[in-house]
């Protein structure tokens, strides 16, 4: 037999204990985001290959699971390259499909549209511990809102959700692509070099300022520019004061409205937040995706050592589909990381109803079975989680297993005493 028992490379079967947490987290996400006015929506897991390979996805475009054409369209023997045999692919994120969806349905959607998407995405990444080739993403996006109310609401909703999940003392890091650019321009870098400079700046957290300066100089940038740049980061406080400092310091390089808007986002979030967290202006934060056009943000947790959520403004993507730009801003939670943290911390999903098991002796006559089913029916109507099972030879072992699965009440049912139950 050529049948394979293991799942395909890099993807995983999910056992009931993990599923219980996943189901619970998804429900909490949906309930919380609804109180912020977000609406569930969904796109197919399969997308046109043209849309997936449209340069919106950066490096993810190299990781697409591609889908073979079908029927007469497929001519394997004549094919010389991938494009000849492929017409679709599994989505690698939820943002490109959302832009397509909005461009297709904007007439039937409210404006602004507050979208909630929870769904699987696929990336043929090199398999490694804790990273899978199929994983759930969970995004909220506000489309059609040019003002910073979008950023404020996205941050409030995401942090409220994390708070409900029991997370405390985390940090929301915030920056703006236009502040990034203004700091580089002020320091004397040419616009064509920005992306290369930002790739190095992005390592600041890990390698520190000296190493960043070194790498920039290795690439041939003038010492004067590098020194000015690094000094700027040193002098900028990581709070609203930092924004005011830059507004004055960078002069015409930074639009006053960009600085004012950022300050307003920070103070509004501070004032209206539900959860226990800090918001930190983080001028060194870059975020990879090339589609961001303004504000960018991340949620960082100390006990995780990395970001558990991230997002930003991308005002130019929908225009690629419609020819007309639409303001857009989104925040994506690292669902798998959050589940991993909860699993590692031994998180217990709050129980909904008592768990109760009826074990029936072998060859229980029909009247006995009916009696037990009647009792189970009553329990179930009361919301209890009820298992009706046949008793095994090794009843002790069976009961231990049931107790391990959380069954608090286990009732032995014998033919000669079942009517007393």
Contacts to a copy of itself from residues 92-121, by CB under 8 A:
100-101, 103-105, 108-110, 112, 114, 120
Give whichever of 39 and 190 is closer to a copy of itself, judged by the CB atom.
39
Instruction: Verify binding: residue 164, a copy of itself, rule CB under 8 A.
Output: no
Give whichever of 3 and 256 is closer to a copy of itself, judged by the CB atom.
3
In whole angstroms, how close is the CB of 107 to a copy of itself at the nearest point? 11
Reported as half-sphere exposure (CB side, CA atoms, 13 A), residue 161 has a value of 32
Q: How far apart (Å, rounded) are the C-alpha atoms in residues 44 and 304?
A: 32
DSSP 8-state class, residue 300:
E
Contact predicate 170/301, CB 8 Å: yes
Nearest to 143, CA basis, from 352, 278, 310, 313: 313
Please list every residue from 60 through 99 that binds a copy of itself, using CB under 8 A. 65-68, 70, 74, 76-77, 79-82, 84-88, 90
Q: How far apart (Å, rounded) are the C-alpha atoms in residues 209 and 215?
A: 10
Q: How far apart (Å, rounded) are the C-alpha atoms in residues 173 and 279?
A: 6
Give whichever of 195 and 405 is closer to a copy of itself, judged by the CB atom.
405
Angle at 200 between CA 197 and CA 203, to 5 degrees: 145
Contact predicate 263/271, CB 8 Å: no
Q: How far apart (Å, rounded) are the C-alpha atoms in residues 184 and 263?
A: 20
Of the candidates 28, 61, 156, 249, which one interacts with a copy of itself according to CB under 8 A?
156
In whole angstroms, how close is the CB of 268 to a copy of itself at the nearest point? 6
* Binding string, residues 30-49; x marks residues near a copy of itself by CB under 8 A: xx--xxxx-xxxxxxxxxx-
Joined together, the tokens standing for residue 23 give 């189901």
Please list every residue from 224 through 263 that binds a copy of itself, using CB under 8 A. none
Please list every residue from 334 through 363 that binds a copy of itself, using CB under 8 A. 352-353, 357, 360
Give whichever of 205 and 270 is closer to a copy of itself, judged by the CB atom.
270
Which span sits near a copy of itself by CB under 8 A: 144-152, 211-219, 236-244, 300-308? 144-152
Please list every residue from 258 through 317 that binds a copy of itself, using CB under 8 A. 264, 267-268, 271-272, 274
Instruction: Verify binding: residue 131, a copy of itself, rule CB under 8 A.
Output: no
Burial letters for 377-413: b for 16+ Cβ neighbours within 10 Å, e otherwise? Answer: eebeeeebbbebeebeeeeeebbeebeeeebeebeeb
Instruction: Verify binding: residue 208, a copy of itself, rule CB under 8 A.
Output: no
Please list every residue from 167 through 206 that binds a copy of itself, using CB under 8 A. none
Helix pair 177-186, 256-272: axis angle to 10 deg = 140
Give whichever of 169 and 401 is closer to a copy of itself, judged by the CB atom.
401
Number of residues that bind a copy of itself (CB under 8 A): 112
In whole angstroms, how close is the CB of 196 to a copy of itself at the nearest point? 28
Instruction: Verify binding: residue 323, a copy of itself, rule CB under 8 A.
Output: yes
* Binding string, residues 382-401; x marks residues near a copy of itself by CB under 8 A: -xxxxxxxx----------x
Q: How far apart (Å, rounded) are the C-alpha atoms in residues 396 and 387?
A: 17
Give whichever of 180 and 357 is closer to a copy of itself, judged by the CB atom.
357
Contact predicate 21/256, CB 8 Å: no
Q: Is the dihedral of CA 141, 55, 177, 302 positive or negative?
A: positive
Instruction: Verify binding: residue 8, a copy of itself, rule CB under 8 A.
Output: yes
Q: How far apart (Å, rounded) are the C-alpha atoms in residues 139 and 46?
A: 18
Give whichever of 232 and 388 is closer to a copy of itself, judged by the CB atom.
388
């Amino acid at each position: 037999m050529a049948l394979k028992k293991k799942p395909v490379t890099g993807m995983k079967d999910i056992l009931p204990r993990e599923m219980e947490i996943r189901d619970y987290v998804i429900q909490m996400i949906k309930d919380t985001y609804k109180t912020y006015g977000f609406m569930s929506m969904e796109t197919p897991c399969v997308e046109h290959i043209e849309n997936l390979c449209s340069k919106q996805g950066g490096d993810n475009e190299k990781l697409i699971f591609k889908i073979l054409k079908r029927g007469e369209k497929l001519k394997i023997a004549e094919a010389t390259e991938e494009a000849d045999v492929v017409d679709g692919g599994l989505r690698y994120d939820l943002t490109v499909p959302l832009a397509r969806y909005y461009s297709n349905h904007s007439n039937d959607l409210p404006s602004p549209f507050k979208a909630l998407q929870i769904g699987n995405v696929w990336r043929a990444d090199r398999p490694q511990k804790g990273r899978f080739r199929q994983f759930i993403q969970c995004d909220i996006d506000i489309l059609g809102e040019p003002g910073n109310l979008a950023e404020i609401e996205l941050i409030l909703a995401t942090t409220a959700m994390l708070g409900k999940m029991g997370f405390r003392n985390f940090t929301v890091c915030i920056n703006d692509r236009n502040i990034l650019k203004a700091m580089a321009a002020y320091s004397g870098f040419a616009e064509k070099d920005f992306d290369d400079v930002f790739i190095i700046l992005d390592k600041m957290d890990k390698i520190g300022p000296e190493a960043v300066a070194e790498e920039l100089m290795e690439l041939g940038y003038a010492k004067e520019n590098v020194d000015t740049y690094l000094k700027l980061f040193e002098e900028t406080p990581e709070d609203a004061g930092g924004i005011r400092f830059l507004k004055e310091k960078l002069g015409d390089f930074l639009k006053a409205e960009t600085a004012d808007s950022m300050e307003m986002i920070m103070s509004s979030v501070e004032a209206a937040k539900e959860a226990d967290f800090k918001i930190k202006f983080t001028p060194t934060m870059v975020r990879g995706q090339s589609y961001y056009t303004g504000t960018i943000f991340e949620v960082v947790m100390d006990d995780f050592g990395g970001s558990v959520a991230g997002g930003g403004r991308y005002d130019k993507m929908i225009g690629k589909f419609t020819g007309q730009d639409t303001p857009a801003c989104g925040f994506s939670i690292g669902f798998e990381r959050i589940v991993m943290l909860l699993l590692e911390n031994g998180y217990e999903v709050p129980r909904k109803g008592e768990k109760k098991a009826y074990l029936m002796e072998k060859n229980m006559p029909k009247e006995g079975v009916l009696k037990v089913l009647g009792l189970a029916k009553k329990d179930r109507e009361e919301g209890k989680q009820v298992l009706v099972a046949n008793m095994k030879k090794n009843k002790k072992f069976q009961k231990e297993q049931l107790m391990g699965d959380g069954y608090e009440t286990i009732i032995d049912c014998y033919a000669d005493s079942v009517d007393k139950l």
